[in-house]
Every structure is written in structure tokens, then in C-alpha cells.
Structure 1
């Protein structure tokens, strides 16, 4: 790309509605990745004056609520450019699976990932972790398929964030492996993995990245007439069947969205048998109402999510397994408006109330042993200009346990300010962000029953945190270079501080550390991307160091096997909590802070030839515990994936070969996991408003084990599986 000296340019035109042919005022007109912009006047006319050093090639963005964004590439070889009449299309409802977003169009970093349209459909599974498992450096942490959670570059729990349209899911999935992510994949139309400076817009602890899901019924999608979207599907390995029905009902300047969703699965199967008590039953109902004004909208959403699911049995915990019943009710208020306030062009207010409860039953019991509830109030305001985002967030949580679970009732209050800024500086794009805040954790200090902790250690804690990131981006001909640094601070979770009791579903007795300090991680990532049609490749390297990294470590392990009905071979050992669990004992786990690092590399290569495409991904992650001079536990092994894709008219055929290496770098008490080789075949048919996808996964019924599964000693992962997914819009 060449560069010109500072000159004056004049870009003009008139914006009209493509359907009504009428002019539109107050449309945002701006140059992508700069702070240069204007709006149309009362007759739809705009005149954008530029007096700045810019690249010869620019992208002019035209954006308005209720309309599809239009991007016009321009060459600044002329000082005056009159675009004449420009027609923009109303934002209509599409069959989202047909539409494919370009990775480069939507991502701010080379390592960002966007799954939507056909690519999402080819990977779609019953949970978000398995759906993402064919991407670089993403593992699956599980205790059965239903409870699967993604692991990004070795980070899990609350070192990565999972959001629905930018808001937290409000469940207890971060607190324990047996707590599900309350999100049904039939409701998801796009998944983004956001890394680098922009990740801090979502939270302070996003070193692993942000997984943001876009959900059906978003108020930004406005329809002109009644629409219905139907999704039906099923899969063979758990005899699962699911359906999603969505109605879009316009009423003058208002719109009503109604969703009904159900999913039922039986126990999952593997090449060597069935894993008992891994069933699930899910129902989800959602009602949304939006009032559209000329330059704004107001939206209300009510959602009810119910799920019953099973945790398989184990001789280390509950010999008959555990059943969990949960209910989550959500109320959302959203306001969005186009404004002219200083340089800000957009203003958003979001309020999210989530009431979450679940009960844990020993299998076949009529009475729960543990009940957990969490009420979340989240309030966020945000101003946005072409290159600047500023906002504030208040998050209040109330946690209450009942039964055989001794973590105290607790209130949490988190206040934060955040910002993101992007600036062109001497032909570089500079990106910066910050998030600063104050967290109050206030446990109830009366009527506490503890076994391993002292009651005096249960006290109010406060934490002040500051996370920041700085990055740059440079395009040189066919190359793009990204690099960023980040420091994150994470306050300990309630369970990491004050847990002192058995956890039914995770086969463990967990003990907190009340004196934990802020976890700090310092990271750097560098990437290079080359694109020369038909060939492109990217290489990304990352390194993260933490002087204080939380781990829930097993305190010991019995070397002799326990036989049900006989006395325990390690009777009296202090690393076991005696009298807990249906078998009378549970291993103890305690939170520990260690010095650690996680580093890795990701390589992607793609080649296109006519209707053929080949894509190769390689990813490697390695973690070290410097305090104990051991590898970090639960790091996903090296993975290679090769896709061969052929497109013929309305059909796509995809053969996917996956090689997962063995994992022999083991933390304390971890066990070796052998390598595996999997073959999948995917057929996709799309025509106008219909889409059908057939996934044939693990065609050769390979017996393979997931290193991050807590039940890998019981059973391997799913064997041969056929998944069929059908969508239609009418």
C-alpha cells in the first residue's frame, strides 16, 4: 500500500432506503479504523471532508439502526468523489446458517475466531465446547458430554469469559466442572473468540479470550412481515433429539419475538459401552419485545431455562452418580440510540437480572443433598464513537447454599470502568484498552460450620484491580502483522477463598484459601498473516507469565485401588476427607497460588483451487508450574486438523482429519493420555431459506480419550456419531 502526502479530499453522496426509495437522515458515515466521520442531513445528503494523511485505499462505512451496514472501498486518487445515490437495505431476517462472515472482516486480531453460517453448522454440537473443539488450541474440560466446557490455550474457568450478546450467562459453570453452561446451541447464530485489547471490554480476567455468542432474537434484527424459523435435529451417540421454533412478529414500529426450544438426550455411548447417568433434558422459553424509534430502540427480554442432567458414578465419590436439576430465569432491558455527544455516535444501556438455582441429588434419591442459588444484577452503560468505546459496569451477586455444602452465603459487588481506543499512527493501527475496578466480597460470618478452615478466616475481602492492553497492527502489501501485550488481574472466586466441604458431582472435597491475593498474568502475543489468493497462512505465538496463579490441587492420592465393599487401603490418610460421599470418602483438593507460565504456537494454512479448499491447523500449548517444579495440570495436548472441502452447486462436502497427540507432560497426580486419530465427514446443503447438514463424526469408531475429561479412567469419548441438523425460514 502506498501513502500520499497530506491532502484535502471531499467525499459526498445521498443515502436512500432501497425498498421505499426515500432519503434517510442521521445515517453514520465514517472511514473504517479512523475517527473521521459525519452524518447525513435531513434530505439524506452527506459531505465528508478529509484533510489528513491517509492510505490510497480506504473503506467507507455507512451504518444506521435497522439497516445492513454497507462498506464501499474507495481509491483516493481523486480529490473529489461524488458517490451519487446510495441505497442501503433494511436489516431483514436471514437464515443465519447460510450467511458466512469472513474471518478478516470481523476480527481485530489474526488469532480471533468467528464461527457463523456454514462453518458454524459444520461444527455445531450440543454444547459450546464441542462445537469449538475443531479450532486451534481449544480443548474440552468435561465430566460427561453435557457438562463440557471450553479450554482456551490451557485456560479454563473464569480465566476466559463466555457471554450471550455481550452479557454473562449468569450460571455457576465457572465454579465447578459438574455445573453446566446454561446455553443451548440451537439458540446460537454466531460465536466469536475475541483476544487482545478488545477483550477487556468484557471483563478484567480475559487472558484466555472472550467467547461471545450471538443469540436469535437480537433486537438489531427488524422484520417487515411475520417470519418463522424452525430448527430440528438429532444425534445418534446419545439418541438426542432437539427442536427450536422462533416467531418474529412485527406490529407497526414494534416487534415481538417468541422462542420455544427443547432438547432431550439419553446416556452417551462410547466404542466400549454406555456411560451411565449422562442424560439431559432441557427446555427454554423466551419472549422479547422491541419498540423501534427513528434513531433508537428499547428492548425487553424474558427467558426461562430449565435443565435436568446426570453426572456419572465414580468409586472416588458417589457410586450411584448425581442428578442435578436447574432453573434459570432472566430479565433484560436494552436501550440503544444514535447520538451526537462530543465525538460519540452511539449510546447503550443494558440491565440484566438473572435468578439461577440448582439442586443436587444422589442418584435415585427423592431429596436433594445440596441446593445452590445465585442472583445477578448487572447494569452497564457504554458510549461509542468510530474509534473509541467508554463505559461503566455494576455487577451485584448474591450466593446462597443449602444442605451439605459449607461455603458461606455471600454478597459480591463489582464496580468497574473500561475503555478501548484505536488510532492510526504513522501507518500503524494502535489499539489500547483498560479495565479498572473495585470488588467487595462479603461472606456471612455467623452460623458457619467448617471442618478444615478456621471460622475467624471467614471475613470481608476487598480487591482493587487494573487490567490493560496495548497492541499494534500493520498491513504491508499482502502481509498483516499483529502484536499486543496485556496484563490482567483476577480476584479469587468465592469457592477459592472459603470452600470447605464436599462437592457431590465433581468427586472432591474442596478447601479454599482465605488469604489469596489478586491473580496477575502478563501476556504477549505476536501474529503474522499472509494472503495471496489462492494461498494464505498465519502464525501466532503467545507467552503468559503469572507470579501468582490459582490452582485447586489434589492433596494426595492412594496408590492402591479401592474396592467397593472392602476397607479403604489408605484408611486414616489426611489427604482424604472421611465420612463424605456415598462411599464414605472423598479426595481433598485445596487452592494454591503458584508461579507459572503458559506458552504456545498456532499455525494455519489454507489453499483454494476452483471449487476445492484445503485448510490445515496446528496448535501447541505448554504450561509450567515453577513453584513445584512440575508441568501445569490440565493442559490440552498438541492438535493437528486437516480439512478437505469441495463445493458443488448448492452442496458442500468436508472431510476432516484430526490428530490429537498424547499428553505425557503431567502435573502432580495426572495420568498419561494416549494419542488418537479421528475422521469426520460433513455434508451441507443450502438453498435460499433452507439448510440441512449431516455430520458423520468419528467414522471409524475410534476408541479415544480426552486428557481433560475427569471420567477418562471410566470410559473413552463418544464413538461413531451421526448428527442431522435442519433449518428453514418461512
Structure 2
């Protein structure tokens, strides 16, 4: 495998070298896009009905402007992880998927401007999301079921990344954009990016280009990679030479896009092509050269050589988008289509292990109709297909083909101080597979029907105080992984077995939210409860022949996808306070907190008989399934705060987030100690006489150099979060 500390520096300078001369040639921008952004006034693009986060009755968070600049990280999950109710999964710095109110994986849809990302990040916890947050202009988080808009995979919420790669409007100036160079100490980070948007002289052709290059080495940690509890359980004493660095935690990423649109008075038509290429190490996972088909590593002499595991991901995406305004009974029509070609190769040292190929096509038509009987609304049709195949000894999911079709309507109407939002959607999901190659008795096709209903009410009691109430009935069809997995899942070090008899799961949610604002205070509080029927979850099994012990295949635990009723409930709150605005500067304080619990409603155990297939061998097991208790890897409660200051060209902030100890754990899951992460930011901004701008920044993370292990991570005992780090650089706006 190549040295993770890549020496090449030329690509890092390309963005600034190209962009900065253009910045001086550009006319002064009138949109002042680098100015502070009022997030309450930013239009939410995830819904076809125009509105801001303040207007919507459904809970939505938006990151844009300076707040997005301060939050951007190498993974999408880490970028949004400081929003109330939102945390991140973690499988090293290359992998971080958003977790919304305790839901993750196949329950949280990740989108690029309204269309799915087209990757396989839901197949396994070590698979990265193929969206680069540094190139985003806006990120929206829909909390609560978003199935009404985006179907089965959004039952727990959705994250929509706006990148503007297909321009929909002319630019305010002939040429505008931004560029950034940054470096970091904790992992020797070097990142360069640029974004350019331009309108041709005729005023109807609009061009877009963006590019990013990032490379990091292994990152520094406060102590040892393995936790003290893990070392004690294994009876091991760590080597002092291993302290302070997490091996195999490097990341290298390249991303870029070109887009072109024709924009007229009543609409637009545009295309874009993009690529996302990344290679990252998987810390805590070394593949032993000798292993058997039963899932246990069995070196002949006890000293088999281990090779680091890394993943190389390559995605090519082509998009077509168009829109028309004022077409007969419709205020607007919007059509989106994306074709995604995805390849993902897992390396064991320099040897190819398993290859994942995924081809996805998705189309979406949204039609906003004229006001009818007092209702503003939109019809929508969404269609997608997916062709997935995994090749290799450790391909635990068979080749599958998926077809999804959805039809929906959503509408809103105002009755004095009351705003009502209603919606309905019907989806049909079909999954075809050649699973009979692994298990002759398995069904090769499953069809599912999912029905979703939603009602929300927003009551503006006065100009400063409003209350929101929401009810949802959402359904999710099982994924191919949940139905047909059967084999060794290296990322989780388990044998994973699907159940082709799984049915749709149904979530019934109720939420109450309160928002109050004055001239100097904004306060929001929300409480929610979600009751699931036939909740799909992965559970460890107990051996029936040896009660009280885990069922294993060789020495590897066997996990089964199964169903049971479950309950999630939680609260979140956020307050923004203007402390002072005087000669010393503008001082503001933001505080937030959230807590969530996830539990199975059943009691006791039930028996199960299952089969695990390895080539020509079939293993039969009698097992016990735990039907109650806490669900695993539920995000811990936390509370955080951030003090910000701005005066003239300067702005700064100091923040801290306290993650509580998580001891409400599932069977066979260990508690995770609490920790506190402290960060700080400093920036100096200068507007040039030509109307452009420069910004120099310095960011500090984990300033207390505390050992932090995310409870949501499968690697919590093998890979802590990075230690103390500084990042610094320069941004240019033009």
C-alpha cells in the first residue's frame, strides 16, 4: 500500500493558483456570499414548496455561510454533528455518516441536491458517503421521517447537500466563486479546493466548476489505540512505542465537477458530470493472511502476518436537471435525473480483497400546482433502480437488483395564525437477487408496498412565540443486506445472516416543538416519541446448547437480522443569546443539548433456527434471540455551548461539548465513558477595494487532548477520535 503521508504538494496549490488571478479580474460581487448568513432566512431546497426553516412546521436545520465554513470536516457526519439531535458514526476519519435522533444507516437518506448519493454507505459501517462537504454551499438536515419526500430510506430523516453543480440561475456577476487552502497538525492534513460559477456574455449560458484535493497521514491520539478496558479484557500490555498515533488512519480524496446550464426567463436545462475518488485506511482492522471459511482467523503458528486494510472508492456521476415556471395549472415543474457508477475495492495490504460495484439511476419529477381551494401543494414522482454486486471471499451480500417507485403529494394552508401541512406517499419496492446460489431455499424476489402519511401544525401565538405539532405514519421496506446477508462481515468481525421473510417496518411519530424569539434571544425545544412495529435490527444470538454464551461460528459471533417492536423517545433544545454589541464587539452565546433512548418493547427470548452457508458447506444452528432491552450504539446524551465574538475584521469562538457516559447499553455491549471536546476558531477577514475578499483562519479541535471514544462506533475500543489539533489556512471570495 502506498505511504499514507503522500509527499506531493502540487495538486494542493492548483485551486488557489487558478482561482486567485481570476478573483482580481472579476467584477465586484453584489451577493456578498461570504457575509454572515441568517440561517432562519435561508430557503430550504429539500422540499418543493418554497420556505425557510423558520416557516416550516417540520423540524429542519440548515448550515450555510460562516457557520458551514466553521463546521466543514472530511466526512459529512462530522460536518453536521454539532446540530441538536444529530451525531455521527465513526469508522476512522474516512467514514462518518449522519445519525439523526438515534437513527442511522438505511434509515437516514443522504442526498445531493434532492437525489440519492448512489453509494453503498448503507451496506457496511466501513463504507464512506460519496459526497464532499467542503464543496457544499448549503447542507440541510430533515429531522423526523422524511419518507413523504424521499421514500423508504428516509424513515429516520434525511441530509440534503446543495452543491449547485447544475446551475439553475444566472450568476450575479460574470464570474464568482471561492477557493481555500488549509493544513492541519493532528494528521498532517493538506487540503485545497476551488469553486467557480460564471455566466457567458449572452447571459443565458451558466458554467460551474469545482475541485478538491485532500491528503492526510495517520492521526495523533492522546494515548493508545486500544482502550484500557479492551486491553484489560484481553490481558495485554501495550507497547509504549505504539502510543500517540493511530496506524492506518490516512485519507486521500479527490473530487471535482463540471456543469453547464441554459437559463431562460421561464426555466433552465442543465447537465453536470462529477467524480469522487478516495482511498482511506480502516484503523483497528488488520487482515491475517490465513483464515478459514468458518469466519475465524486461525493462523497455523499463532503469528500470521497481518496486513492493513484500506478502501479505494471511485464514483462517476452524470446529472440532467431542468425546470419550467408557470405551465398551465402548475407554478413550476422540476425534473432531476442522475446516473451513478460506483466501484469500491477493499485491499488487504496490496492484495485485492472484495470489490463492490453499484450502478444506480434515479429520476424525480416535482410539480408545484397553483393554489387550489386555499391549498398550496406539489405532486411528485420518484423512480430509482440499483444494480449491486460484490465479488470476493468476504462478499457477505449477494448480487441484487432493486426497483423503487414512489408517488406523493404534499400541501400547506394557512388559517389565520395556524399553518397546516399535510402529505401522503405510496411506494412500491422490488428486490431481485440470485441468493439461491448461496441458499437454494431462499426466495429470489421480494415485493413491498409502503404507505406514508404526515400532518403538521404550526401555531403562531404571536410574532415571538410559536408551537409546532407533528404526527407521522412512515414505513420502510427491508434492504437487500437485511434480507440476504450470509457470511463473514469483516468490518464488524461477525457472521451476518439476513432473513428473507422480513416485512416492512412501520413508525408512528408524535412531536411537539416550541420556538420563542426576542430581539436578543432565540430558543427552540422539541420532544418526540416514535413507536415502531416490526422494527428491523441486527442482534447477537445466544447458543441454545450453551445457555448464557454467544453463538459463534468458529470464534466469530453470529448476528441475525430480525424484527420486533421498538420505541424511541428524546428531547433536544437550542438557545442563541445576544450577550452584548458594543465597542468591545458583538458577543453571542449558543447552547444546545439532546438526549435519545432506543429500546425494544419485547421481553425474554425466542428460539430461532438458522443456516450459514460457506461455499459447499452449510452450518445449522439453534439460537436464542433477545426480544427486549436497549438497542445498541445509541448516541449518548450531550450538552454543548459556544461563545462567539466579532469586531471589525476579526471573529472568534470558543466552544465545548460534553458527551455523557453511555451505560444504557444492549446485551453484550459495553458502556462508553463520557468525554469533553473543546474547540476554538479565529478568523481575520479583509474586503479588497475591487470587491473581493480574503480570510485567514485558525481552528483548534480537542484542545484538552482528551481520549474520546464514540459510542456510535464499532471501533470505539480500537480507534479513539483524534487528539489535539490545529488547522490553519486562507480563503478567497470573489
Aligned residue-pair number: 613
The change in CA–CA distance for 1:632 and 1:96 in structure 2 (over 3 A counts) is farther
- Residue 100 of structure 1 corresponds to which residue in structure 2? 37
The change in CA–CA distance for 1:360 and 1:159 in structure 2 (over 3 A counts) is same
- Residue 308 of structure 1 corresponds to which residue in structure 2? 279
The reply on whether 1:708 has 2:704 as its aligned counterpart is no
The reply on whether 1:169 has 2:155 as its aligned counterpart is no
- Please point out which of 255, 266, 277 is paired with 1:295: 266
- Residue 285 of structure 1 corresponds to which residue in structure 2? 256
* Alpha-carbon distance in structure 2 between the residues aligned to 1:196 and 1:153: 8
Contact 2:59 2:144 in 1 (8 A): no
The reply on whether 1:616 has 2:615 as its aligned counterpart is no
Equivalences for residues 181-330 of structure 1 within 5 A: 181-195=129-143, 200-223=148-171, 224-251=173-200, 252=202, 253-272=204-223, 273-314=244-285, 320-330=307-317
- Residue 511 of structure 1 corresponds to which residue in structure 2? 497
The change in CA–CA distance for 1:315 and 1:308 in structure 2 (over 3 A counts) is closer
The reply on whether 1:626 has 2:601 as its aligned counterpart is yes
User: SS of the counterpart of 2:513?
Assistant: strand
- Please point out which of 694, 698, 706 is paired with 2:698: 694
Contact 1:205 1:488 in 2 (8 A): no
Contact 2:655 2:680 in 1 (8 A): yes
User: SS of the counterpart of 1:497?
Assistant: helix
Equivalences for residues 527-542 of structure 1 within 5 A: 527-542=513-528
* Alpha-carbon distance in structure 1 between the residues aligned to 2:30 and 2:255: 21
Equivalences for residues 98-177 of structure 1 within 5 A: 98-103=35-40, 106-107=52-53, 108-109=56-57, 111-177=59-125
* Alpha-carbon distance in structure 1 between the residues aligned to 2:121 and 2:28: 35
Structure 1 residue 531: deviation in Å? Answer: 0.9
Contact 1:286 1:302 in 2 (8 A): yes
The change in CA–CA distance for 1:599 and 1:217 in structure 2 (over 3 A counts) is same
* Alpha-carbon distance in structure 2 between the residues aligned to 1:292 and 1:246: 20
- Residue 325 of structure 2 corresponds to which residue in structure 1? 338
Equivalences for residues 257-656 of structure 1 within 5 A: 257-272=208-223, 273-314=244-285, 320-342=307-329, 344-362=330-348, 364-366=349-351, 368-385=352-369, 387-404=376-393, 405-444=395-434, 448-449=437-438, 454-477=439-462, 478-555=464-541, 575-578=551-554, 585-608=555-578, 609-610=580-581, 611-627=586-602, 628-656=627-655
User: SS of the counterpart of 1:120?
Assistant: helix
Contact 1:95 1:690 in 2 (8 A): no
* Alpha-carbon distance in structure 1 between the residues aligned to 2:33 and 2:129: 23
Contact 1:497 1:514 in 2 (8 A): yes
* Alpha-carbon distance in structure 1 between the residues aligned to 2:386 and 2:639: 41
* Alpha-carbon distance in structure 2 between the residues aligned to 1:330 and 1:314: 30
The change in CA–CA distance for 1:574 and 1:652 in structure 2 (over 3 A counts) is closer
The change in CA–CA distance for 1:444 and 1:207 in structure 2 (over 3 A counts) is closer
Structure 1 residue 97: deviation in Å? Answer: 4.4
Contact 1:205 1:489 in 2 (8 A): no
Contact 1:358 1:373 in 2 (8 A): yes
* Alpha-carbon distance in structure 1 between the residues aligned to 2:445 and 2:31: 50
- Residue 681 of structure 2 corresponds to which residue in structure 1? 682
* Alpha-carbon distance in structure 2 between the residues aligned to 1:289 and 1:93: 22
Structure 1 residue 681: deviation in Å? Answer: 1.1
Query: How big is the alpha-carbon RMSD for the aligned residues of Structure 1 and Structure 2?
Result: 2.3
Contact 1:290 1:299 in 2 (8 A): yes
User: SS of the counterpart of 1:332?
Assistant: strand
Contact 2:57 2:456 in 1 (8 A): no
Contact 2:278 2:312 in 1 (8 A): yes
Contact 1:429 1:473 in 2 (8 A): yes
The change in CA–CA distance for 1:133 and 1:481 in structure 2 (over 3 A counts) is same
Contact 2:39 2:64 in 1 (8 A): no
The change in CA–CA distance for 1:96 and 1:202 in structure 2 (over 3 A counts) is farther
* Alpha-carbon distance in structure 2 between the residues aligned to 1:157 and 1:93: 41
Contact 1:197 1:468 in 2 (8 A): no
User: SS of the counterpart of 1:270?
Assistant: coil
The change in CA–CA distance for 1:93 and 1:162 in structure 2 (over 3 A counts) is farther
* Alpha-carbon distance in structure 1 between the residues aligned to 2:716 and 2:284: 12
Structure 1 residue 408: deviation in Å? Answer: 2.3
Superposed CA offset, 1:265-305 (max 9, x none): 11122111211111121111211111122211110001122
* Alpha-carbon distance in structure 2 between the residues aligned to 1:714 and 1:408: 29
- Residue 660 of structure 1 corresponds to which residue in structure 2? 659
* Alpha-carbon distance in structure 2 between the residues aligned to 1:543 and 1:639: 19
Contact 1:615 1:643 in 2 (8 A): yes
TM-score by length of 1: 0.80
Contact 1:122 1:684 in 2 (8 A): no
Structure 1 residue 489: deviation in Å? Answer: 0.7
- Residue 39 of structure 1 corresponds to which residue in structure 2? none
The change in CA–CA distance for 1:308 and 1:500 in structure 2 (over 3 A counts) is same
TM-score by length of 2: 0.80
Give 5+ residue unaligned stretches, structure 1: 1-89, 558-569, 579-584
* Alpha-carbon distance in structure 1 between the residues aligned to 2:667 and 2:640: 29
